[in-house]
Amino acid sequence: MNLKLIWQLLKKEATQIYNDHSILLALLAAPLLYFALMGSTYFNKDEENVSVGIVDLDNSHSSRAFLNKINATQKVDITHTYLDLNEAKNGLYRFDVQGLIHIPSGFENKLKAHESTPIGLILNNSKFLSSNDINKSVNLVAMDYAVESRENFFKSKEINPSLAAKKAQPIIAQIHAVYNPANNYGNFLLPALFILILHQTLLIGLSESVALDRKNNLIPFIFNDAPLSFLNYFFGKTGFYFLLYAAYTILTFFVIFPIFDLPLNNSMFTLITVSFLFFIATIFYGWFISSFFKSQARAMEVMAFTSYPVFLITGITWSFKDMPLVIQFMSNLIPLKPYFSFLKKETIMGVESNLYSNEIVHLLLLLLLGYVAVLLRFYYLKKQLLNRNVEVA
């Protein structure tokens, strides 16, 4: 390896980035802007006060008390009162409310007579989060009524109040949402989202630069410049990206995670080291893919469209084992997959190191795969250039 040559190439790359506003924007402005813009979207982490409409045809003390209890829950806010179901349906259609509670007449009488009292709950399930929250809140309040009713029954049979309370709810499900105690959306999505932002901006910036080199015949020029070995070229070309994203990694885990109150449960050294491996693998992949483009704009366009697929294919929002085998196979070829799994286990769950060693081995294998792919591609381009030069001569 020729360190002087690597340093020259590194400086050349830095100058190219500095002079190209688009690459500069992708590498320096976009990560920070997206951190702020997209990260802050989930700053509150969870929703509260989902708007709900009511149709209270009973309009009794009991129905109002029931609705007040629902309104007192953190997640639900009764914002609209409708006179009938038709009017309510229109409110739902206008998206004024996400759900409707319909209390039929006779609610209070049935409740007092200890008869089963049906109420209607209509949910707009076009957005799962709000629909789930309304459903959960209404059911919890109904459960409170059930416990109270059972307790009153036992008391009426001259069982002492303390025992009556115990008999009313003999088995309780005590549910603990581990690793995300509030079971909120922010803690679930933000760690992966921050990594995705870094991953995508790196891919876009690098692909633009490599495509620009190919367009301007700079890769052949570099070959001609000196008899470079592959490693000299690669370290020189991508060293700047690695250093920049190493800095972003440190920023992410030391500044961004604490700002958003995200868990960092295990060894920071392991986390940073594996993150560096991940970014090296991403650089290999990025260089390999972008070496097929000769247009900066085309490289940008294609990379911009990979964001959603590469994020979703990792199974971060879905059950990985429930995806088709071919998709699982493809996912396993992407460095984000083992890295997300590692991040979850090491940083969020804080499990013992032997439980995430498979992910590190997986990442190393992908790094090797990326290296081989880049090496072969590099020598292919070199051979192509030499052949062209022979033809010209």
**Binding to other proteins in span 22-51, by CB under 8 A:** 22, 25-26, 30, 33-34, 37-38, 40-44, 46-51
Q: What's the closest the beta carbon of residue 92 comes to other proteins, in angstroms?
A: 7
Site for other proteins (CB under 8 A): which residue of 28, 32, 264, 304? 304
| Residue 42 vs 276, nearer CB to other proteins | 42
Site for other proteins (CB under 8 A): which residue of 171, 390, 392, 393? 171
Joined together, the tokens standing for residue 61 give: 């003390």
| Residue 123 vs 218, nearer CB to other proteins | 123
Strand order in the sheet with 50-56: 76-82, 50-56, 99-103
Q: Which residue stretch of 53-61, 270-278, 282-290, 321-329 sits at the interface with other proteins (rule: CB under 8 A)?
A: 321-329
Give just the sign of the alpha carbon dihedral 220, 226, 228, 233.
negative
Instruction: Using alpha carbons, list the distances in angstroms from residue 69 to 27, 33, 182, 337, 367.
Output: 51, 42, 21, 44, 56
Site for other proteins (CB under 8 A): which residue of 65, 72, 83, 177? 177
| Residue 107 vs 378, nearer CB to other proteins | 107
Q: What's the closest the beta carbon of residue 297 comes to other proteins, in angstroms?
A: 6
Site for other proteins (CB under 8 A): which residue of 6, 76, 108, 188? 188
Class of residue 51 by CB neighbours under 10 A (exposed 0-12, middle 13-18, buried 19+): middle
Q: What's the closest the beta carbon of residue 127 comes to other proteins, in angstroms?
A: 6
17 binds other proteins (CB under 8 A): no
251 binds other proteins (CB under 8 A): no
Class of residue 259 by CB neighbours under 10 A (exposed 0-12, middle 13-18, buried 19+): exposed
Site for other proteins (CB under 8 A): which residue of 12, 155, 215, 298? 298
Concatenating the DSSP letter of every residue in 210-264 gives HHHHHHTTHHHHHHHHS---HHHHHHHHHHHHHHHHHHHHHHIIIIIHHHTT---
155 binds other proteins (CB under 8 A): no
Site for other proteins (CB under 8 A): which residue of 8, 71, 307, 332? 307
d(CA 27, CA 234): 18
61 binds other proteins (CB under 8 A): no
Site for other proteins (CB under 8 A): which residue of 17, 76, 277, 313? 313
| Residue 181 vs 258, nearer CB to other proteins | 181
Q: What's the closest the beta carbon of residue 193 comes to other proteins, in angstroms?
A: 8
Among positions 354-393, residues that touch other proteins (CB under 8 A) are 355-356
Q: What's the closest the beta carbon of residue 176 comes to other proteins, in angstroms?
A: 5
Among positions 197-226, residues that touch other proteins (CB under 8 A) are 204
Among positions 67-96, residues that touch other proteins (CB under 8 A) are 90, 92-95
Q: What's the closest the beta carbon of residue 13 comes to other proteins, in angstroms?
A: 18
Concatenating the DSSP letter of every residue in 314-374 gives TTSSS-GGGS-HHHHHHHHTSTHHHHHHHIIIIIII---GGGTHHHHHHHHHHHHHHHHHH
Task: Please list, in sequence order, all residues whose beta carbon lies within 8 angstroms of the beta carbon of residue 329, skipping any fewer than 6 positions away.
Answer: none
Please, how many CA atoms are within 13 Å of residue 87, restricted to the half-sphere of its CB? 11
Q: Which residue stretch of 143-151, 228-236, 239-247, 271-279 sits at the interface with other proteins (rule: CB under 8 A)?
A: 143-151
Site for other proteins (CB under 8 A): which residue of 1, 19, 174, 227? 174
3-state SS, one letter per residue, for 32-71: HHHHHHHHHHCCCCCCCCEEEEEEECCCCHHHHHHHHHHH
d(CA 366, CA 358): 12
